[in-house]
A and B are shown apart, each in its own frame.
Chain A
């Protein structure tokens, strides 16, 4: 750092160096200079350079208001032009740098395959699917369930089961749908969207939110249309009892897969 400052001090005008260089050098031997001191010296070099050129002009020119102002204006203009040229040069260098300096974003991680929890509807499927309901409430009531052939629900096992997500004052708890079966008030099974040319099985994955009043709001879907739309509109008609966790009402996030199979659709 000391060497750097000595190098910077060489940028002072010769008159300044002849007068102060020796004692300035002695001062550097006494202190422990930092990078801030380098900037400090460079800043003073610029100040001395600017004022020296202005002073020189003033001494050479005859004294009059115009002659006093002109050298100052000329010197300041020259410095401004030089700074502008340097900035443009730096800008040109920066903008012509190759774009590969920025590392490309990594490809998105593939979604893990859904894990199967139960099997009812599709005996020919590689994975097993569940029809509804899995569990009737203990009080003996029946769920008002609309069932359409060719449609089944897979309750996905959740890798972040029990996790809590916070967004401002809102708190969402992740819970598997099958664990919430006893709280179901109304469930609607999606209808197979006839009129499509799709053949075979189509899967739609949905993540949904059970709000504090028990209504359901789909947060995101993954799957082709019109199957994703059919699954979304059905699940948003589901109703749960208001849910509580540790005696506090809470919102719950869960995920399901809806499978449509043209072979079993009427």
Chain B
């Protein structure tokens, strides 16, 4: 699970966050530190695809919010990941 777009969507699933908050959240729940280039590269791709959108803010730190399409994409990816995890665990037990 190294795809920064999925990590960012998972981070935004429980509320709006700006770039630094996303970076810290991912560090806590996944143990992965995204570099600033990777983070904003993924944010720009997510925004282009309409999976997140910027929330109006006066501060320099721009918060982002996950969209309905983004939430749907995250659900699909997590379901696929869960299937991989279940299959892998079952095969490890059988081996």
Which A residues contact B (CB, under 8 angstroms)?
5, 16, 19-20, 22-28, 30-31, 33, 36-37, 39-45, 47-48
Contacts and interface: CB of A to CB of B under 8 A. Distances in A.
Interface residues of B, number: 17
> What is the predominant secondary structure among interface residues of chain B facing chain A?
helix
A49 to B, nearest CB: 12
A36 to B, nearest CB: 7
Interface in B5-57: 18-20, 23, 35-41, 43-44
B93 interface: no
Nearest to A47: B41
B37 A43 contact: yes
Interface of B: 18-20, 23, 35-41, 43-44, 59-62
Nearest to A41: B37
B37 A16 contact: no
A23 B60 contact: yes
A5 B61 contact: no
A23 B38 CA distance: 14
A38 to B, nearest CB: 9
Nearest to A23: B62
Residue with the highest number of chain B CB atoms closer than 10 Å, among A16, A20, A36, A45:
A20
Counting chain B CB atoms within 10 Å of each CB, which of A5, A19, A25, A44 scores highest? A44
A27 B36 contact: yes
Given A16-B44, A22-B60, A27 B20 contact: yes
Given A23-B62, A40-B36, 12 more contacts: A20-B43, A20-B44, A22-B60, A24-B40, A26-B19, A26-B61, A26-B62, A27-B36, A30-B20, A37-B35, A40-B38, A44-B41
Contacts of A20: 40, 43-44
B20 A42 contact: no
B36 A41 contact: yes
A117 B30 CA distance: 75
9 contacts: A16-B44, A20-B40, A23-B18, A26-B59, A27-B23, A31-B36, A40-B37, A41-B36, A42-B37
A23 B58 CA distance: 11
A23 B44 CA distance: 12
A211 B16 CA distance: 79
Nearest to A20: B40
A24 B41 contact: no
A44 B60 contact: no
Nearest to B18: A23
A24 B19 CA distance: 8
Contacts of B36: 5, 24, 27-28, 31, 33, 37, 40-41
